[in-house]
Amino acid sequence: MELLQKMRQAVWDNRWNLYNAAVMDAEGIHTLQFQPANACNDSYSVAKLFTVTALGMLWDDKKLSFDERICDIFAGELPEGHDPRWEKVTVEQVVKHRFGTGEGYLDIDVEDIRDYGTNDFLQVVFRHPLAFEPGTHDQYSDAAYYLLSRVVSKKSGVRLDDLLMQKLFTPLQFQEVAWSKCPMGYPMGATGLYIRAQDMVKLGWVYLNGGCYEGCRILSEDFVRLAIKKGYELSTVDKPGLYGKGGMHGQMLMFSQQDGVAVAWHGFDGEGGSELMHLTASWLHG
């Protein structure tokens, strides 16, 4: 297809270290391999949109409110002497990276987990000092999405990857899925989701189509509208109607409402992935 051919030419001309891409439109999923690579790759922060999707499923089932306080969900589990500002933190503030931390932390892609001094990552989150009043400061942090992984477990009774296996990965026929976990067995939520590009693109198709995938209802239209409006790990890419979520090494998932397409790719080239994102946006209408 034309879009994939443009992408291939750009990747080859610029020698970007990108692996493969997938485009989904009304005719199905189209794939392209830029170079030899593993079929499954780490999606890095694209994983956060999958965690948001699990939260959306719980919201649809009326098991979760984004206004709920974290301290109520984890009643009795906050450590002694925790920052009292945790009493004000809501689920939405965590989703939006506005829960009060002054720095990113709990990033297993760049940190040595031996430095945490414990196998209980939930306590790592709660013991970290808050620098700001909740809701007043933006600070991107993987800790937020590990915490949300634990919220999903609390609210659903199963772990994040098990919930999505039941409600997303299996219904949409994902070929392979694996999620990096903490020492206690909970998915990291923020990163470490290993999937194929041709499966990753399916989530973009769900959001593009108001929560449906080929007649299968995955999310409500209300939640999809809410996620786009509030920017729950979906940002506008260069023009209205074009939304996406990227990963730290050039991974990308995006969809265009006007063109009716979803696009995904894997790689290990942050600059190249960003350049391809802007180029792809220029080729689409939004």
Other Cβ atoms within 10 Å of 33 Cβ, number: 12
Phi/psi for 50 (5° steps) reads -70, -40
Instruction: From 149, 146, 173, select the one nearest 161 (Cα to Cα).
Output: 149
31-53 pLDDT, tens per residue? 999 999 999 999 999 999 999 99
The rounded distance, in Å, linking the Cα atoms of 102 and 267 is: 30
Buried b (16+ CB within 10 A) or exposed e, 120-131: bbbbbbbbbebe
CB-CB contact of 25 with 261 (8 Å): yes
Query: Coil, helix or strand for 90?
Result: strand
Buried b (16+ CB within 10 A) or exposed e, 146-156: bbbbbbbbbbb
Average confidence (pLDDT) over 174-189: 98
133-179 pLDDT, tens per residue? 999 999 999 999 999 999 999 999 999 999 999 999 999 999 999 99
Whose tokens are 């973009």? That residue is 204
State yes or no: pLDDT of 286 exceeds 90: no
> Which DSSP letter does residue 169 get?
I
Number of continuous H segments (helices) and E segments (strands) in the chain: 10, 11
Instruction: From 10, 27, 58, 9, select the one nearest 273 (Cα to Cα).
Output: 10
The rounded distance, in Å, linking the Cα atoms of 13 and 8 is: 8
Enumerate domains of the chain plus CATH numbers.
1-39+196-286 (3.40.710.10), 43-195 (3.40.710.10)
The rounded distance, in Å, linking the Cα atoms of 262 and 266 is: 14
CB-CB contact of 274 with 249 (8 Å): no
227-275 pLDDT, tens per residue? 999 999 999 999 999 999 999 999 999 999 999 999 999 999 999 999 9
CB-CB contact of 238 with 282 (8 Å): yes
Instruction: From 30, 32, 35, select the one nearest 205 (Cα to Cα).
Output: 30
Determine the pLDDT at residue 85.
96
Q: Which of the four pLDDT bands, split at 50, 70 and 90, describes residue 98?
A: very high
CB-CB contact of 276 with 16 (8 Å): yes
Give the strands of the sheet with 28-33, arranged side by side.
28-33, 18-25, 261-267, 252-256, 242-246, 235-236
β-pairing verdict for 41-42 and 28-33? unpaired
The rounded distance, in Å, linking the Cα atoms of 174 and 245 is: 19
pTM: 0.97
CB-CB contact of 268 with 249 (8 Å): yes
- For residue 243, what are its two tokens? 């939304």
